[in-house]
Structure 1
């Protein structure tokens, strides 16, 4: 399925994409996708309902879990040092820097999921109600996310090539 097959206004869910691509992406970051049966509560979900959950190095999701939620929660674990991941249960952080980094990284990682990509993910983030001071996810990502990008670069979580040419990191 691709994003044009979804109902207008719908967000892309795990059930809409190849879950094995998600498994492979998470495995690259020493994380594991744990499939939760439709209608069952999602362990480690901060928001409940269909939102993804995290416990240790595991990301929990149902077929109706939005892809943006799954990636966001996974990115909360990715931005943590590996030795801190084991202690995570439901709420990864209260750090604004880590939250911004997770938002930025989820957009970047969406490009690694066939049929998703950053464009679709940013649209879904807006539809779901992510709130950025410039009014949209795209505006934040393109114009206001330098702190998140630097934070990720400083920790080796983004390749240097992802930094805009006119931005010099010292």
Structure 2
């Protein structure tokens, strides 16, 4: 599983900053503030994603995507759990893979493989199969919010 320590922290910080989010590095021996799952999983407080060097990149991206899909005025109220609905959760799974393509040395295929290794489950048996063949509703959800184009490409802010 690809970890934050395996990629450029600066690249991850820059990507999140495009969405007006902050990435806060947590000391390796400290607990991660706002982590829903605990252990090494990323945490959320306001517009900040908290992560350690051992945080899986897919976890960092997943939690960041929960903030990205929220209207900016709602971000300040977030602490630990940002999910609004099953539809949002499904869309976040797609968006995190798309953001993987924006990080050098990561890519969508790695994010999807790491999601499988972590234990995400999908009807068709893998995150990649969901992404490619079973997520029409989630794609539509992202298109409606202007986060992806109709051709399913990522729309970056600014």
Q: What interval of TM-score do these two structures reach, taking the shorter chain for normalisation? A: over 0.9
Separation in structure 2 between the aligned mates of residue 159 and residue 37 of structure 1, nearest angstrom: 38
Find the residue that maps to 1:47 and give its secondary structure: coil
Equivalent residue, structure 1, for 2:74? 84
User: What is the aligned length?
Assistant: 153
Give the stretch that moved more between structures: 93-102 or 54-63: 93-102
Equivalent residue, structure 2, for 1:14? 4
Q: Which runs of 5+ in 1 are unaligned?
A: 1-10, 164-170
Equivalent residue, structure 2, for 1:40? 30
Find the residue that maps to 2:123 and give its secondary structure: coil
Residue 160 (structure 1) shift = 2.8
Q: Deviations over 1:37-89 (max 9, x none)?
A: 00210000000000000000000000000000000000000011111111000
Instruction: Spell out the pairing of 1:105-144 with structure 2 (5 A cutoff).
Output: 105-144=95-134
Residue 94 (structure 1) shift = 4.3
Q: Which runs of 5+ in 2 are unaligned?
A: 154-158
Find the residue that maps to 2:151 and give its secondary structure: helix
Equivalent residue, structure 1, for 2:156? none
Normalised to the residue count of structure 1, the TM-score between the two structures is 0.88
Separation in structure 1 between the aligned mates of residue 29 and residue 120 of structure 2, nearest angstrom: 24
Separation in structure 1 between the aligned mates of residue 147 and residue 63 of structure 2, nearest angstrom: 16
Aligned-residue RMSD, C-alpha: 0.9
Find the residue that maps to 2:30 and give its secondary structure: coil
Q: Deviations over 1:111-153 (max 9, x none)?
A: 0000000011111110110111111001100001111111011
Find the residue that maps to 1:49 and give its secondary structure: coil
Separation in structure 2 between the aligned mates of residue 132 and residue 79 of structure 1, nearest angstrom: 21
Which has the greater radius of gyration? 1
Q: Deviations over 1:8-42 (max 9, x none)?
A: xxx00000001111001000000000000002100
